[in-house]
Amino acid sequence: MKKRLYGRIVALVLFDLLVWYLYFVICSAPSSSAFIYVDF
């Protein structure tokens, strides 16, 4: 049970690091999002 939990945590950490890295690769340019244009 504990093993599965640790496995899940490690998988989540690795996935997070991957998507975090990808975010900076793909979205490094200043935002062109329609949402960001809207300043509430």
Using rule CB under 8 A, residue 3 touches another protein: no
40 lies in the site for another protein, by CB under 8 A: yes
Amino acid at 33: S
CA-to-CA separations, 39 to 12, 27, 32, 35, in angstroms, rounded? 33, 19, 13, 8
Please identify which residue in 1, 2, 4, 35 interacts with another protein, judged by CB under 8 A.
Answer: 35
SS3 14: helix
1 touches another protein by CB under 8 A? no
Closest approach of Cβ 3 to another protein, in Å? 15
Is residue 2 within the footprint of another protein (CB under 8 A)?
no
